[in-house]
Amino acid sequence: MPDSKQSATLITPDGRYIVVRGRLWRRANPALKSADHERLVRDLMGARREIGTTRRSGDCAREITSRKRVHATKVALGERGPVWWSDGAPDYNRKLAKNSPYARWYARACASMPDEHANITASHEDIVMDIFEALRQDHDKQRTLADKLVATHGASDEREALFTDLRRELKDHAAAKEPHFYAPLMQHDLTQDRARHSVAEHHDIDELIEKLEDTEQTSPQWLAVAKQLQEQVTHHLDEEEQEVFQMASKALTDKQKSALAKDYRRQMDGHD
Ligand SMILES: [Fe+2]
């Protein structure tokens, strides 16, 4: 299990949830043996990859089987299904922290930190931007742009401007992230498969962008494809923040995390 002192993720004091963009996500059962945990995470990645492959091939039956496999693996990990604690506390998985019994703790954690995602166990001297914070800042921009894009109606200057901004954000982000995040992760056994999976998803996103470019903005089809793009982007970013970052946090040293953030930022700023 990730050590909360090394992780850049905000973890509830009882260790039951991580907080991602204000939402609680149940962590894996800490009683799982490390080898079992890693095996299940590998299974999960395999099942996820299979969903992508089957979706692209249009094999609905196999896609459903793969989705069931993802769910079953999450249950085995303890992230879904019955809770792994035994004190009778309810499950707040996916609930907003501010609407849960963790609200006071969360408000204090946010108030004392410059970034709600920063590690509350770190001292202020320790807080430097690491690669996870740098990526999250850009992920938030992409989510906002994608949400605004699917709220547009018909061909308009606003639709064109939002699409141009989102396309640039996604392409620059992928171009900077691949050398400054995924390349080092591909050097580690723990994160190699995960990094390949994420890079493959960048290609899926590129294909949807190309499809949008080839579709008339006035046609209803354009909005349908834009919604697919928004779903794909949201899925990709959530998966990175909830799964890849935790594994990467174990694979990379603190020095690497800061150095990668600088290199990533420098490349992104060069595109501004
Ligand atoms: Fe990505």
Beta partners for residue 23, in sequence order: 20, 96
pLDDT tens-digit series, residues 121-137: 333 323 346 888 888 88
Residue 6 binned pLDDT confidence (cut-offs 50, 70, 90): very low
Q: Greater confidence, 222 or 117?
A: 222
Mean pLDDT over each residue of the chain, to the nearest integer: 83
How many angstroms separate the most distant Cα atoms in the chain? 57
pLDDT > 50? residue 2: no
Higher pLDDT, 220 or 270: 220
Task: Quote the ligand 1 centre to 188 CA distance (angstroms).
Answer: 18
Beta strands in the chain (DSSP E): 10-11, 17-20, 23-26
The answer to whether the CB of 44 falls within 8 A of the CB of 71 is no
CA 247 to centroid of ligand 1, rounded, Å: 15
- pLDDT computed for residue 218 by the predictor: 84
* 241 φ/ψ angles, rounded to the nearest 5 degrees: -70, -35
Kindly give the distance from the C-alpha atom of residue 36 to the centroid of ligand 1, in angstroms, as a whole number. 27
Question: CATH 1.20.120.520 in the chain, residues?
Answer: 128-271
Q: What is the pLDDT of residues 168-196, one digit of tens each?
A: 999 988 899 989 999 999 998 888 988 99
Distance (Å, whole) CA 60 – CA 71: 17
pLDDT digits over 94-115, tens only? 888 888 999 999 888 888 765 5
Kindly give the distance from the C-alpha atom of residue 45 to the centroid of ligand 1, in angstroms, as a whole number: 15
Helix axes 189-213, 157-177, angle to 10 degrees: 150
State how far the Cα of 37 lies from the Cα of 47, in Å rounded to an integer. Answer: 15
What separation in Å is there between the alpha carbon of 236 and the centre of ligand 1?
6
What is the CA(28)–ligand 1 centre distance, in A? 23
pLDDT for 16 equals 93
The hierarchical CATH code for the domain 128-271 is 1.20.120.520
